[in-house]
Amino acid sequence: MMSVSLITELPEEKMPYLLRSGDGRKYVFGQQVATVIADFKSTGDVLELTTISGGKGETFPLHRHKDAFESIYVMEGKIEFMLDGVNYLLTAGDYVHIPPGIAHAYRMAGHRNRFASYSIKGNLTAIYELLGKPYPYFEHPTTAMNSYSENQLTEASNRADIVFLQDAVQWGKYNSPEESHNPRCVAPYVLENGEGDRLLTGDQLHRILATQENTNGEYIFVASDGPKGEPIVEHFHNHHTETFFCVQGQMTMWANGEEVKLFPGDFLHVPAGTLHSYRLDSHYTKVVGMLVSGLFEPFFRALGEPHETYTFPTEPGPLRMDRVMAIIDELDLNVVAKSPLDRK
């Protein structure tokens, strides 16, 4: 084994790094805690990721972003979410897609709520720095710690891509959508856990929750799950950043030769040029991530087959490496070894 060691705190410059569940820069506002896991410094202006946790009744005011796309993945609890005038009640595994210009707000409805907010182009992590104050603990407080002022909201809208709206949100009523699908264009939408554009690669089910069509090609958002299995090929990308956020089960990852275990809440940043691979290690493991840009989407479509149902199947599907090889020059993919285990 190589002895290089992966950075395990939020770095000040772009590099591969591992953050364990609860690590990151934390800020408290009201009874909510924002934990910044990736920012423009740590990703080289590529993406930002903050998890928000809080208790029942906590809200965030109605607002929109001018240029930023935001992708929200719910990890725990119940979140009332207002998206473009429609209210939804979200639970773990649900996804919200928020293009620029779309009004949104939330209210937490469970006792323990947590979601991940991914974004590009917004400097949105600055909002939490400006509205909150540094917080050294891991769980949200049992009573509100502080409240932000009108001046702080103004400062946030000056420093980050956020416009606060005055309209009142009527909470307490929400839509329960029937089966929903990714639209074929840039639009706001909600996907229930299990939904998304589904592709089966061997024993793993990948759900593309945001396609290039949904993001103007800026990124894709993928949720992958499967049983305990074998490592994927060891590879690197020249152009796109990948992120791996383990939300269920356990997995092993390799980054530039270093082997690390990921458990729920653990995050690995894999910028372009990082040699990497992963293996799912328990019988129900789920990992989600934003990939920036979105150019890698054809890989999943070439390697996998469209999958009708919402869970990974009992019998694995084919792995169409032949189709991947046929378009390898168009894919941002450099395979270095069949397995990271071959290098030992």
Residue 299 CB, shortest distance to Fe ion, in Å, is 9
Shortest Å, Cβ 276 to Fe ion: 6
CA distance 202 to 212: 23
Residue span binding Fe ion (CB under 5 A) among the ranges 16-24, 102-110, 216-224, 236-244: 236-244
Pairing mode, strands 267-270 and 242-248: antiparallel
Residue number with CB closer to Fe ion (158 or 334): 334
222: DSSP letter: E
Continuous segment of H or E residues that includes residue 234:
strand 234-236
Query: Tokens at residue 169, please?
Result: 């949100």
Smaller CB separation from Fe ion, 114 or 276:
276
Q: Which amino acid is at 142?
A: T
Site for Fe ion in 238-267 (CB under 5 A): 242
For Fe ion, the closer CB: 15 or 89: 15
Q: Which residue has the tokens 């809440």?
A: 265
Stretch of residues binding Fe ion (CB under 5 A), selected from 20-28, 71-79, 237-245, 279-287: 237-245
* Choice between 192 and 242, CB closer to Fe ion: 242
- Whichever of 96 and 222 has its CB closer to Fe ion, that residue is 222
State the nearest-atom distance from the C-beta of 68 to Fe ion, in Å.
Answer: 24
**Closer residue to Fe ion, CB minimum distance, 225 or 242:** 242
Q: How far is the CB of 237 from Fe ion (least distance, A)?
A: 6
What is the nearest approach in angstroms of Fe ion to the Cβ of residue 161? 28
Residue with tokens 């074929």: 184
Give least dist CB 200 to Fe ion, A.
18
Long-range contacts of 183-187 (CB under 8 A, 24+ apart): 183/213, 183/214, 184/213, 185/213, 185/214, 186/99, 186/213, 186/214, 186/215, 186/216, 187/97, 187/99, 187/214
The answer, yes or no, to whether the previous bond of 282 is cis (omega within 30 of 0) is no
Q: Which of residues 66-95 bind Fe ion (CB under 5 A)?
A: none
Separation of alpha carbons 293 and 212, rounded Å: 9
Residue corresponding to tokens 């009332």: 80
Binding characters for Fe ion, 263-302, by CB under 5 A (x = yes) = ----------------------------------------
Binding-site residue total for Fe ion (CB under 5 A)?
A: 1
**Strand 17-19 with 267-270, pairing:** antiparallel
Shortest Cβ contact with Fe ion: which residue? Answer: 242
* Cβ nearer to Fe ion, comparing 77 with 294: 294
**In this structure, which amino acid lies at residue 175?**
N
Q: Which stretch binds Fe ion (CB under 5 A): 171-179, 234-242, 284-292, 310-318?
A: 234-242
DSSP 27-81: EEETTEEEEEEE-HHHHTSS-EEEEEEE-TT-EEEEEE-SS-EEEEEEEES-EEE
Which chain residues interact with Fe ion by CB under 5 A? 242
